[in-house]
């Protein structure tokens, strides 16, 4: 669908205007009702398992509420299902404390779940109306909203701690801001919380008395699938989670999410929804497909799709190394320098021996890399400790698709940390803290990567000003954090196409691209270029008021449109493309 004025604003579907006097939407089951609903929950899980075991093609869950108690937290796991359709229209699965995990599919294949609603029985955050803002002291006072008192993951009352904070105005609209972790504690006044020591960006400039603050916990996930293949989740609502809303990891993958709505519950006075990422989809052999999904109101990234780097921990011989990460015989592994990402060589895995007591190596003051396996290669390579081991095929979520989605009202990123062969199209990013980020991360212990090769970004809309950078950002983050500020010759991101997108206002240059070999930028509409060119002081950088390039090769830029037609990157005569 071509971008047009009629598609530049996407209304929030069927959600009533937020009001503080709306209900919370949380249930008030009596103990007798809870006991019956817990048994009902276990019974339906048993029925699902038996249907799969018997080779039944479909099972229909009767509409109503089902409750899962902490004593049965592991029993809300469905293992080894295959070739089964689960219809759950009008069904809500409620999860009681401890507020960690919800529904888990484990080692399942070709299972379709349709119509289910997932929610937790208690708020996974506290929310409060701002009474006073003291910017000089970096503090604020706020009155707790009834029903949203501070609780830990066990559901027990808390009096102080550290949390991530999000902010909303007096009409319940998300205030765009940078990451703001801080401390909080109950004051001597009844139902008043004191929030202080906001780190990084501090208190948002626009926050005022009468607005709201939210502080999240961060634990597990509401809907998970581990080591699964060809799962289909359709018409699913996830209204809250103490951590991630939707999570998948490992296995063959190829899972499909169609019309999955992960956002705050409509027709309630809930301001927020999730304590961590909305969608975190990682480490499968085949990437996921998201179609007509909504994601909003989280405590971290809207979307994170990635595989993982491995590490060289210790040399054990001319062709033998202790490696961190999952490796299998027959894998082709690309080794790169940990800081510059310079290619060190490629080899095939000949043998793998698990080493649970393998050597460890300090990554930094806090984290250790452990040699999880002793790997023999088919050729000798000179590999230093902490070199990157790159698997581009297996376990990298390759071939993912995101289309027709709406990501909105979140302070963090839509993050593609290195899965190759991806496509994002006809999707709206609206009122988000950062835009679409391609940032393989070797600077932390999580090692999200490897490289987003063969990526297509087309027919998307970037609306309402990310305050923390560009709408599309491709960057390298070396060990120790930050970004690479000096020239690195390595260009591990290859073959990227950015076409027919609409870019609204951003706080920086709308497109900021680093270290790409094979880049096509054409047919985009930029309504709000940056107000000034980005000062770099780099002789190898090229900047106009809508595009910043650094260390890129084989670049084609054509037929992009700005309101004035000025600032186009076209220093060569007409008819030629800049390379």
Which tens digits make up the pLDDT trace of 212-233?
Answer: 999 999 999 999 999 999 999 9
pLDDT band at 309 (very low <50, low <70, confident <90, very high): confident
CA distance 216 to 231: 30
Q: What is the pLDDT of residues 378-428, one digit of tens each?
A: 999 999 998 999 876 678 899 999 999 999 999 998 988 889 999 999 999
Give me 219's structure tokens.
Answer: 């634990």
Rounded to an integer, what distance in angstroms lies between the CA atom of residue 283 and that of residue 395? 4
User: What's the pLDDT at 567?
Assistant: 44
Q: What percent of the chain has pLDDT over 90?
A: 67
For 184, phi then psi, to 5°, come to -150, 160
Q: What is the spatial distance between Cα 252 and Cα 108, in angstroms, rounded to a whole number?
A: 10
Which residues is 79 bridged to in the sheet?
106
d(CA 288, CA 254): 5
> Any idea which residue has 């009468």 for tokens?
210
| Contact criterion met (CB below 8 Å) for 121 and 26 | yes
CB count within 10 Å of CB 354 equals 9
Does position 555 have pLDDT exceeding 70, yes or no? yes
453 or 573, which is more confident: 453
Count other Cβ atoms within 10 Å, centred on residue 195. 22
Residue 358 pLDDT > 80: yes
Those residues whose C-beta lies under 8 Å from the C-beta of residue 127, and which sit 6 or more positions away, are 144, 145, 148, 168, 212, 213, 214, 215, 270, 271, 272
**pLDDT for the residue numbered 338:** 85
CB within 8 Å of 198: residues ≥ 6 apart: 138, 165, 180, 181, 182
């Amino acid at each position: 669908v071509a971008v047009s004025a009629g598609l530049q604003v996407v209304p929030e579907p069927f959600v009533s205007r937020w009001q503080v006097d709306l209900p919370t939407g949380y249930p008030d089951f009596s103990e007798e009702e809870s006991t019956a609903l817990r048994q009902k929950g276990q019974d339906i899980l048993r029925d699902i398992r038996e249907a799969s075991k018997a080779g039944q093609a479909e099972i229909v869950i009767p509409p109503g509420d089902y409750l899962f108690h902490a004593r049965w937290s592991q029993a809300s796991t469905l293992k080894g299902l295959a070739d089964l359709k689960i219809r759950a229209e009008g069904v809500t699965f409620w999860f009681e404390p401890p507020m960690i995990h919800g529904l888990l599919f484990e080692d399942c294949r070709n299972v379709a779940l349709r119509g289910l609603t997932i929610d937790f029985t208690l708020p996974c955050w506290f929310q409060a109306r701002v009474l006073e803002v003291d910017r000089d002291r970096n503090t604020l006072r706020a009155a707790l909203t009834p029903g949203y008192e501070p609780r830990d993951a066990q559901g027990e009352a808390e009096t102080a701690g550290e949390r991530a904070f999000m902010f909303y105005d007096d009409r319940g609209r998300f205030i765009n801001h940078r990451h703001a972790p801080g401390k909080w504690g109950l004051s001597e006044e009844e139902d008043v919380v004191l929030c202080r020591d906001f780190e990084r960006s501090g208190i948002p400039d626009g926050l005022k008395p009468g607005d709201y603050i939210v502080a999240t916990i961060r634990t597990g996930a509401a809907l998970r699938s581990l080591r699964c293949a060809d799962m289909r989740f359709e018409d699913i609502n996830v209204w809250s989670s103490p951590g991630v809303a939707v999570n998948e990891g490992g296995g063959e993958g190829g899972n499909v999410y169609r019309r999955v709505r992960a956002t705050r519950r409509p027709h309630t006075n809930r301001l927020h929804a999730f304590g961590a990422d909305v969608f975190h989809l990682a480490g499968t052999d085949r990437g996921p497909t998201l179609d007509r999904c909504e994601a909003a109101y989280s405590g971290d990234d809207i979307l994170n799709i990635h595989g993982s780097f491995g590490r060289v921990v210790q040399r054990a011989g001319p062709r033998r190394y202790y490696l961190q990460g999952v490796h299998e015989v027959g894998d082709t592994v690309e080794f790169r320098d940990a800081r510059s990402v310079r290619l060190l060589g490629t080899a095939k895995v000949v043998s793998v021996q698990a080493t649970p007591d393998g050597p460890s190596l300090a990554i930094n003051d806090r984290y250790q890399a452990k040699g999880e396996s002793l790997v023999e290669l088919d050729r000798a390579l000179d590999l230093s400790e902490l070199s990157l081991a790159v698997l581009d095929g297996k376990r990298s979520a390759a071939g993912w698709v995101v289309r027709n989605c709406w990501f909105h009202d979140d302070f963090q990123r839509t993050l593609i940390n290195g899965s190759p062969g991806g496509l994002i199209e006809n999707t709206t990013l609206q009122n988000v803290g950062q835009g679409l980020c391609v940032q393989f991360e070797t600077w932390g212990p999580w090692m999200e990567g490897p490289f987003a090769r063969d990526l297509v970004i087309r027919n998307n809309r970037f609306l309402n000003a990310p305050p923390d950078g560009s709408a599309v950002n491709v960057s390298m983050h070396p060990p120790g954090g930050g970004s690479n500020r000096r020239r690195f010759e390595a260009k591990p991101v290859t073959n990227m196409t950015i076409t027919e997108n609409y870019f609204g206002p951003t706080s920086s240059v709308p497109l900021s691209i680093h270290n790409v070999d094979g880049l096509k930028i054409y047919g985009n509409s930029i309504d709000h270029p940056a107000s000034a060119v980005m000062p770099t002081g780099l002789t190898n950088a090229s900047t106009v008021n809508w595009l910043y390039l650094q260390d890129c090769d084989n670049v084609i830029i054509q037929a992009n449109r700005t309101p004035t037609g000025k600032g186009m990157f076209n220093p060569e005569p007409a008819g030629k493309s800049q390379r």
